[in-house]
């Protein structure tokens, strides 16, 4: 926030005040569509569907959420790294192991980036990946069930920000550490000011099984102690490469501006991942001891299991020539984005007054000529001028992230000057600019990071909303803004508030979701050990001081609904199976005094609520989800007697 000078803010704010007054009579100069025009473009009539599904990161909320575009309506919150009492995620016995880590149970995180799976560089609607920034992890959400199916922890990492970006066919998801640290298996109790000697950066390449989506860390690159910020894989001609922005090339252990921004340029690191993969296969790597959790949801039992893994294969660029190169990039690059053709790589130096655009063809020539600009910790540095396609001059202040419309245009967000700037990738000419309200972070164009953007809209995710909404206490909502980019000039259509702090988001056509969506879990396929697939299978079983209740839920009763024979000191597990035949009738279950949430059970599945009664008495339980006219009748009692 330091760089967002108040003067600038006042400037944008007054432009905003001006435009809101003028927008209906003078739309083009303000970048806003006229009110009627805008309303008709975002209006989705009752009963009609949105054109795109926008999967938005929840920031410090630790979830993803799903919005309709162009309406901006929120459809669903998908918990990934945070417990979610609404559906019992992270509370039910089945889902708790999903949040296990080498540090134990970690029920919160900070999710910044979404990566939707692609095939041949185009969205395929299979999975959404998200990163945990704080306790390094990657989560994978199924886009057919909208559930988190897998979470893998990343060892030798601290601040998993440069993640989870994917290769063209979702072969790999990457995880680059923001904080360099002493590696897990080294002496980690070192003075912080020995950073330069003891701290390392790493990038993990996580292989994705194409049939199941299951992730495994294939190898990890051991790199200089810079801060990796963001990344993008190449596509088309550059598809074997990955590009990572890095700041703090000074390797300072305190990032007061004088330290971290002392140098004129930081780097974008180019990694030939195909080559890295070959080195890994050829035995060039070294297995090192680490400890990390790998949590997978079983399809048949809907139960997550957590496995601890004890080693990782590391590759050192010193042993692997022609694998990693550094490209100088003006000051503190944040985003690095690759255009749909795969030829242009756009850097965004937060503290630079230009947008550098690199050419993949030139990078290849520079590597072939071996005419380097020295090396950085043994990694060859390419000459800036040799790899540069050109710079967009004076585009705005504080460039962060760039998206593409597939028509040769790039759209870059400017945090400090609160605007989106549209420019031509080939000529580097600025074509248009519109204000955002205010301090925009990421942008998202449907299909924007793929080979085939759908174009049509750009969505800005803003950090600050100031006067856009009535204050809800000192905490205002974060928000998104939708702009029409179908014409030459961008036009603001809609503001919509978001849940949590949105960072990156991706949109795909609703049809992709419709085709892949899973509607029902077949009860015949339910292999949960405590499933009761009909009232005749319900039971109350004692195992020592554990009492397992196999219960059914169906409109409009819970069976059994009178439970006795349980004593204080027992631990009760309510295993509730929803035996509905209709796909859209979930039931809930909650009990008085439980230090837990409810559970929400989809038709065909079994979910378990654990409860330790704290006193003698008769306790009511009930269905929490209004499921039929006899919903209130879905209730029962459990009696707790003295031990």
Footprint on this chain of ligand CUK (rule: CB under 6 A): 112-113, 161, 230, 334, 400-401, 441-442, 503-504
Of the two residues 122 and 625, which places its CB atom closer to ligand CUA in the complex? 625
Picked from ligand CUK, ligand CUA, none, the partner binding residue 327 (CB below 5 to 8 A depending on kind) is none
Indicate which single residue of 625, 635, 637, 639 sits in contact with ligand CUA (rule: CB under 6 A). Answer: 625
Residue 182 near residue 190, CB atoms below 8 Å? yes
Minimum Å distance from CB 130 to ligand CUK? 12
Q: Are strands 52-57 and 63-69 parallel, antiparallel or unpaired?
A: antiparallel
Region of 184-192, 515-523, 605-613, 622-630 interacting with ligand CUA (CB under 6 A): 622-630
Residue 103 near residue 72, CB atoms below 8 Å? no
CA-nearest of 181, 172, 174, 254 to 208 is 172
Q: Are strands 539-543 and 546-554 parallel, antiparallel or unpaired?
A: antiparallel
- Would you give the binding string for ligand CUA spanning residues 549-568, x where CB under 6 A is met? ----x---------------
- Tell me, by CB under 6 A, how many residues bind ligand CUA: 8
Region of 277-285, 389-397, 417-425, 620-628 interacting with ligand CUA (CB under 6 A): 620-628
Report if residue 583 touches ligand CUA, rule: CB under 6 A.
no
Of the two residues 238 and 348, which places its CB atom closer to ligand CUK in the complex? 348
Report if residue 491 touches ligand CUA, rule: CB under 6 A.
no
CA distance 605 to 599: 12
Minimum Å distance from CB 232 to ligand CUK? 11
Of the two residues 296 and 351, which places its CB atom closer to ligand CUK in the complex? 351
Residue 323 near residue 276, CB atoms below 8 Å? yes
CA-nearest of 313, 323, 324 to 285 is 313
Minimum Å distance from CB 249 to ligand CUK? 19
Picked from ligand CUA, ligand CUK, none, the partner binding residue 587 (CB below 5 to 8 A depending on kind) is ligand CUA
CA distance 322 to 305: 39
Q: Is 623 helix (H, G, I), strand (E, B) or coil?
A: coil
Of the two residues 480 and 634, which places its CB atom closer to ligand CUA in the complex? 634
Region of 4-12, 133-141, 196-204, 624-632 interacting with ligand CUA (CB under 6 A): 624-632
The residues near 405 (Cβ < 8 Å, ≥ 6 apart) are 411, 445, 448, 453, 455, 458, 485
Region of 65-73, 115-123, 130-138, 627-635 interacting with ligand CUA (CB under 6 A): 627-635
Phi-psi region of 514 (alpha: psi -120 to 50; beta: other; left: phi over 0): alpha
Picked from ligand CUK, ligand CUA, none, the partner binding residue 296 (CB below 5 to 8 A depending on kind) is none
Minimum Å distance from CB 86 to ligand CUK? 25
Of the two residues 217 and 623, which places its CB atom closer to ligand CUA in the complex? 623
Minimum Å distance from CB 528 to ligand CUK? 38
Picked from ligand CUK, ligand CUA, none, the partner binding residue 215 (CB below 5 to 8 A depending on kind) is none
CA distance 30 to 16: 9
Indicate which single residue of 181, 389, 587, 611 sits in contact with ligand CUA (rule: CB under 6 A). Answer: 587
Of the two residues 126 and 232, which places its CB atom closer to ligand CUK in the complex? 232
**Longest Cα separation, the chain:** 83
Strand segments (E) across 94-240: 100-101, 104-105, 114-119, 122-132, 137-142, 147-153, 172-176, 201-208, 215-223, 227-233
Residue 372 burial class via C-beta count within 10 angstroms: exposed 0-12, middle 13-18, buried 19 and up? middle
CA distance 225 to 539: 58
Residue 99 near residue 107, CB atoms below 8 Å? yes
Report if residue 623 touches ligand CUA, rule: CB under 6 A.
yes
Picked from ligand CUA, ligand CUK, none, the partner binding residue 112 (CB below 5 to 8 A depending on kind) is ligand CUK
Minimum Å distance from CB 94 to ligand CUK? 31
First vs last Cα of the chain: how many Å apart? 59
Minimum Å distance from CB 620 to ligand CUA? 14
Minimum Å distance from CB 230 to ligand CUK? 6
Of the two residues 232 and 587, which places its CB atom closer to ligand CUA in the complex? 587
Minimum Å distance from CB 20 to ligand CUA? 45
CA distance 563 to 640: 9
Minimum Å distance from CB 553 to ligand CUA? 6
CA distance 67 to 77: 9
The residues near 82 (Cβ < 8 Å, ≥ 6 apart) are 58, 61, 62, 63, 90, 107, 108, 109
Of the two residues 376 and 483, which places its CB atom closer to ligand CUK in the complex? 483
Bridge partners for 123 per DSSP? 118
Picked from ligand CUA, ligand CUK, none, the partner binding residue 126 (CB below 5 to 8 A depending on kind) is none
CA-nearest of 86, 38, 78, 45 to 62 is 78
Residue nearest to ligand CUK (CB): 441
Report if residue 634 touches ligand CUA, rule: CB under 6 A.
yes
Vertex 364: Cα angle to 359 and 369 (nearest 5): 125
Strand segments (E) across 133-240: 137-142, 147-153, 172-176, 201-208, 215-223, 227-233
Of the two residues 171 and 598, which places its CB atom closer to ligand CUA in the complex? 598
Minimum Å distance from CB 597 to ligand CUA? 16
Picked from ligand CUA, ligand CUK, none, the partner binding residue 626 (CB below 5 to 8 A depending on kind) is ligand CUA
Picked from ligand CUA, ligand CUK, none, the partner binding residue 548 (CB below 5 to 8 A depending on kind) is none
Of the two residues 86 and 298, which places its CB atom closer to ligand CUA in the complex? 86
Strand segments (E) across 463-545: 479-484, 491-497, 505-509, 539-543
Which residues are near ligand CUA by CB under 6 A? Answer: 553, 587, 623, 625-627, 631, 634
């Amino acid at each position: 926030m330091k760089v967002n000078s108040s003067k600038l803010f006042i400037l944008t704010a007054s432009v905003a005040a001006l435009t809101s007054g003028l927008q209906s009579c003078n739309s083009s100069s303000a970048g806003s569509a006229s009110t009627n025009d805008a309303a008709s473009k975002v209006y989705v009539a009752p009963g009609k569907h949105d054109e795109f599904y926008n999967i938005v990161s929840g920031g410090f909320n630790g979830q993803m959420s799903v919005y309709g575009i162009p309406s901006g309506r929120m459809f669903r919150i998908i918990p990934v790294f945070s417990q979610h009492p609404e559906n019992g995620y992270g509370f039910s016995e089945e889902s708790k192991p999903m949040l296990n880590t080498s540090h134990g149970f970690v029920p919160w995180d900070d999710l910044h980036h979404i990566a939707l799976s692609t095939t041949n560089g185009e969205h395929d609607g299979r999975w959404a990946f998200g990163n945990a920034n704080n306790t390094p992890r990657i989560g994978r959400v199924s886009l057919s069930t909208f559930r988190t199916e897998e979470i893998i922890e990343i060892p030798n990492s601290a601040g998993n920000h440069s993640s989870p970006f994917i290769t063209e066919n979702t072969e790999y998801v990457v995880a680059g550490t923001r904080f360099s640290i002493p590696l897990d298996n080294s002496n980690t109790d070192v003075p912080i000011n020995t950073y330069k000697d003891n701290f390392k950066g790493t990038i993990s390449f996580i292989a994705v099984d194409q049939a199941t989506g299951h992730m495994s860390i294939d190898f990890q690159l051991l790199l200089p102690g810079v801060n990796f910020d963001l990344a993008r894989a190449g596509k088309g001609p550059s598809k074997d490469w990955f590009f990572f922005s890095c700041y703090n090339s000074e390797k300072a252990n305190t990032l007061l501006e004088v330290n971290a921004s002392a140098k004129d340029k930081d780097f974008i690191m180019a990694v030939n991942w195909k080559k890295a993969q070959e080195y890994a296969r050829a035995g060039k790597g070294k297995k090192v001891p680490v400890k990390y959790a790998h949590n997978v949801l079983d399809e048949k039992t809907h139960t997550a299991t957590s496995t601890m893994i004890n080693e990782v294969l590391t590759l050192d660029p010193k042993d692997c020539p022609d694998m990693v190169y550094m490209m100088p990039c003006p000051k503190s690059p944040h985003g690095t984005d690759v255009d749909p053709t795969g030829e242009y790589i756009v850097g965004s130096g937060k503290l630079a007054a230009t947008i550098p655009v690199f050419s993949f063809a030139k990078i290849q020539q520079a590597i072939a000529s071996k005419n380097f600009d020295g090396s950085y910790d043994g990694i060859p540095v390419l000459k800036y001028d040799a790899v540069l396609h050109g710079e967009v001059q004076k585009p705005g202040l504080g460039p962060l992230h760039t998206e593409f419309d597939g028509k040769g245009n790039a759209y870059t967000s400017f945090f400090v000057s609160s605007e989106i700037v549209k420019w031509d990738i080939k000529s580097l000419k600025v074509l248009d600019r519109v204000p955002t309200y205010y301090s925009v972070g990421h942008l998202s164009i449907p299909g924007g990071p793929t080979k085939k953007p759908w174009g049509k809209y750009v969505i800005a995710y803003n950090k600050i909303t100031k006067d856009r909404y009535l204050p809800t206490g000192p905490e205002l909502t974060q928000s998104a803004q939708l702009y029409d980019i179908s014409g030459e000039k961008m036009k603001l259509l809609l503001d919509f508030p978001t849940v949590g702090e949105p960072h990156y988001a991706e949109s795909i056509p609703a049809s992709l979701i419709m085709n892949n969506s899973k509607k029902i879990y077949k009860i015949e396929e339910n292999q949960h050990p405590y499933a009761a697939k009909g009232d005749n299978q319900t039971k109350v079983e004692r195992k020592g001081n554990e009492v397992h209740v196999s219960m059914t839920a169906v409109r409009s009763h819970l069976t059994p609904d009178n439970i006795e024979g349980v004593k204080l000191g027992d631990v009760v597990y309510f295993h509730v199976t929803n035996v509905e035949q209709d796909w859209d009738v979930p039931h809930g279950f909650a009990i008085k005094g439980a230090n837990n949430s409810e559970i929400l059970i989809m038709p065909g599945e079994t979910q378990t609520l654990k409860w330790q009664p704290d006193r003698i008495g008769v306790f009511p339980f009930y269905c929490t989800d209004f499921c039929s006219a006899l919903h209130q009748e879905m209730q029962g009692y459990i009696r707790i007697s003295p031990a």
